[in-house]
Amino acid sequence: MVSKVNMAVDFGGVKMKNPINTASGTFGYGWQFSELMDVSQLGAITTKGCAAEPWPGNPAPRMAEVRGGMMNSVGLQNPGVAAFAAQSGPWLDELSQKGTQVICQVAGHSTEEYVRALEMFCELCPWAAGFEINVSCPNIAAGGIACGSTPEGAGDVMRACRKVTDKPLFVKMAPVRIPEIARALEAEGADGLSVINSIPGMAIDVHTRRSKLSKPTGGLSGPLCHPIAVRMVWEAANAVDIPINGVGGVMTGEDAAEFILAGATCVSVGMANLVDPTASVRILAELEAWAESQGVNDINELIGALEC
């Protein structure tokens, strides 16, 4: 059934046929879901982050269920850009030709590592519509502090990466100091922002007195984070003119609609993919139904339409 509402959006130069994206790390490299759903229905997918060289990730256990969400300490395990391009590139190229945009996430532990990985992506993945820089990675040179935890650190990474490519560059933001870091990223040439990454937390097994993960802390995600993410999307949208991708606890079309009303141009489905592998296409249908119920002709009319 054809929607009565135009669902196409422009996320910082990446023209999406609808606002539904997938959150990096929860959708693999896309092809893992291809026998469960028609991935080409989505506006975009964001692939799991890759670095210039393979990363082994953290030891198990790396995921734990908590009330209202989940904890993870995967450690950005990835095969490296070269292996990713060889293994997943042909399928992703075909997906892009079907009209679903492919955004590749770039990982690194330092500005130099981000730049090297991005250079490899640009060389080996010509089908990529844009790149998402994950500035929540720990910066080895700064003693393990996340690269994007300060305006200066985030700005340094963005400035260096901007010199590598003219393709759209987005930044996956840590859930800290959103307005000021967003302004710093915009000033250094970011085309859009993904708000937010998982929230640092802890989950303790009270019977063993040990962390439920192999590390003491991990990233908290899921529905319980959604109201925080909506607030941070609203803060970012009020701080900058570049578009926002809302990320955090999207389980239904109404969750996605909240992000759009708060100022997001598009939204990413994350933990819901792990609960129901077909969640993103259901959420798209629910979002379309909501947009029709609002009596608009174009979903862009609803971006930032919150009435205070």
For residue 280, the one-letter residue type is S
Closest CA to 158 of 53, 30, 12, 43: 12
Measure the CA–CA gap between 43 and 298, rounded to whole angstroms. Answer: 15
What tokens were used for 110? 């330092």
Measure the CA–CA gap between 305 and 73, rounded to whole angstroms. Answer: 36
- Ramachandran assignment for 143, one of left (phi > 0), alpha (psi -120 to 50 degrees), beta (any other): left
Measure the CA–CA gap between 154 and 193, rounded to whole angstroms. Answer: 12
Would you call 187 helix, strand, or coil by DSSP? helix
Measure the CA–CA gap between 170 and 44, rounded to whole angstroms. Answer: 13
Residues with a catalytic annotation lie at 137
Q: Label residues 275-297 b or e (16+ Cβ within 10 Å = b).
A: eeeebbbbbbebbbebbeeeeee
Closest CA to 80 of 136, 129, 46, 125: 125
Based on DSSP, count helices (H) and strands (E) in the chain, helices before strands: 8, 18
65, 217 Cβ separation under 8 angstroms: no
Q: What is the DSSP string of 159-180?
A: HHHHTT-SS-EEEE--SSSHHH
What tokens were used for 293? 């119920």
Check residue 242 and report its DSSP letter: S
